[in-house]
Amino acid sequence: MSQDERFDSHQSPLRVKPFTIAIGDDQLEDLDRRLRHTRWPDAIAGMGWDDGTDLPFLRHLTKYWRTDFDWRAQEATLNALPQFTAELDGVEIHFIHQHGTGPNPFPLVITHGWPGTGFDMQHIIPLLANPGDHGADPADAFDVVVPSLPGYGFSQRPTRPGFGPHHVAQLWTRLMTGLGYERFGAQAADWGAAVSTWLASLFPDLVTGLHLNFIPGSFRPSLGEDQPPLSADEQAFLDAAAAWFDAEGGYHRLQATKPQTPAYALTDSPAGLAAWIVEKMRGWSDCGGSVERAFTLDAILTNISIYWFTGTIGSSMRFYRENRLRPNHFRAGERIVPPLGVAAFPQDLIPPRTWVERVFNVTRWTQMPRGGHFGAMETPELLAKEIREFFRPLRAHQRGL
């Protein structure tokens, strides 16, 4: 990427506005009406989740959504987080900005993925921002910034193409430098990992370190004749990834090629939206087949409700198409300079370390004892501990610059 292509981080000062979630009563009434009038499809008895979202479970979930779920209580909990918006490249971006409590908080931007919204970080934010209140060293405190990706949750839906991981990485530099951070760390999973990989690749002078609990599926190192041949572990991973994608990747193919088509149905039907999202929350988590072992119904429905009230399922799915148009592929000899730490959760598909080291400067690799794709929601304490330990030696380096 040439210097003249880089997003200009020296624009006019960042204009930050406080933000409060305020869903209208009319939206709650509309949701209730739609749930009461759901048209249910047939399902073959005994199939369970093999054909997709289990019908008895979805009836259970949507009944709870209509009769027991308290959006106003969840809204109040979410509004306890310090929230703001700022315009970046013509799109109003929502973000949480929690200042750290400690002697020298370290700036950290955490980027969520799909089907998250940024609020999936609500339990890990206090562990990172105020470690002293959670049995850890206050010297490990972070200033935590959690932006919502464009077209996700309370970030504005883009009205033009181009807002994929590559461009969002540039927006995040504008956000972080506009907030006064000359250098910062990055942490992410899922699409956030793709954004953060671009961030570390394009702006190594700004990113002190990168921590991931997922390696993006679009990540591809060069495998040319001048590169080491695939190891047995690397080939086994590529075979496993291909098998997974063949069995589970239908959603990905659809969202990466024709996201507008499912957007009509999922934007109009709350039951359909719930089915689309909860199937992934079950399938990608360390839940042993029972999604309620990993998440409460309130947690599941808070996430789904944000998508419903903001109408962002269509714009969130478009992120897959944008990435398809500009994936994370690397040329021979191309390296990402900032140090990388990886937390590999057992129920996630993580490549072997040698595969990642073909491009990244891996300085820490931890096999986590439990957890899946939603590490910040499933095991926030374990992930927070890993993040603290990875960035601890980098703090001294950043202070010495």
Domains along the chain? 3-10+51-399 (3.40.50.1820)
Mean pLDDT of 9-18: 77
Q: What is the pLDDT of residue 334?
A: 86
Alpha helices (H) along 326-374 = 353-357
Report which of 230, 265, 253 is spatially closest to residue 352, judged by C-alpha positions. Answer: 230
- Distance, in Å, from the CA atom of 299 to the CA atom of 377, rounded to the nearest integer, reads 9
Mean pLDDT of 285-311: 98
Q: What is the pLDDT of residue 12?
A: 61
* Catalytic residue IDs: 190, 320, 373
Give 134-191 pLDDT, tens digit per residue: 999 999 999 999 999 999 999 999 999 999 999 999 999 999 999 999 999 999 999 9
Beta bridge mates, 97: 145
Q: What is the pLDDT of residue 224?
A: 77
- In the chain, what is the greatest distance between 2 CA atoms, to the nearest angstrom? 64
Q: What is the pLDDT of residue 111?
A: 98
Its pTM stands at: 0.94
Residue 399 clears pLDDT 80, i.e. is over it: no
Query: How many beta carbons lie within 10 A of that of residue 16, not counting itself?
Result: 15
Residues near 368 by beta carbon (within 8 Å), at least 6 away in sequence: 213, 343, 344, 345, 346, 375, 379, 382, 383, 386
Q: What percent of the chain has pLDDT over 90?
A: 89
Give 20-47 pLDDT, tens digit per residue: 999 999 999 999 999 999 999 999 998 8
Report which of 321, 307, 318, 322 is spatially closest to residue 267, judged by C-alpha positions. Answer: 307
Q: What is the pLDDT of residue 73?
A: 98
Residue 401 clears pLDDT 80, i.e. is over it: no
Residue 8 clears pLDDT 80, i.e. is over it: no
The reply to whether omega before 115 is within 30° of 0 (cis) is yes
- Contact (CB, 8 A) for 320 and 259: yes
Tell how strand 106-111 and strand 142-147 pair up.
Answer: parallel
Cα 177 off chain centre by: 21
Q: Taking all residues of the chain, what is their mean pLDDT, rounded to a whole number?
A: 94
Mean pLDDT of 70-93: 98
Q: What is the pLDDT of residue 21?
A: 98
Dihedral sign for Cα atoms in the order 224, 228, 231, 233: negative
- Contact (CB, 8 A) for 115 and 191: no
Mean pLDDT of 341-364: 97
Q: What is the pLDDT of residue 312?
A: 98
- Distance, in Å, from the CA atom of 141 to the CA atom of 63, rounded to the nearest integer, reads 41
Residues near 292 by beta carbon (within 8 Å), at least 6 away in sequence: none
- Contact (CB, 8 A) for 330 and 216: no
Query: How many beta carbons lie within 10 A of that of residue 160, not counting itself?
Result: 8
Strand runs (DSSP E) across 286-346, as ranges? Answer: 336-344
Residue 227 clears pLDDT 90, i.e. is over it: no
Residue 5: pLDDT band with limits 50, 70, 90: very low
Report which of 87, 322, 82 is spatially closest to residue 195, judged by C-alpha positions. Answer: 322
Tell how strand 16-18 and strand 83-88 pair up.
Answer: antiparallel
Q: What is the pLDDT of residue 3?
A: 32
- Distance, in Å, from the CA atom of 318 to the CA atom of 311, rounded to the nearest integer, reads 13
State which amino acid sits at residue 109. V
Residue 329 clears pLDDT 70, i.e. is over it: yes
Residue 10 clears pLDDT 70, i.e. is over it: no
Mean pLDDT of 278-296: 98
Vertex 200, ends 220 and 236: CA angle to 5°?
Answer: 25
Give 84-123 pLDDT, tens digit per residue: 999 999 999 999 999 999 999 999 999 999 999 999 999 9
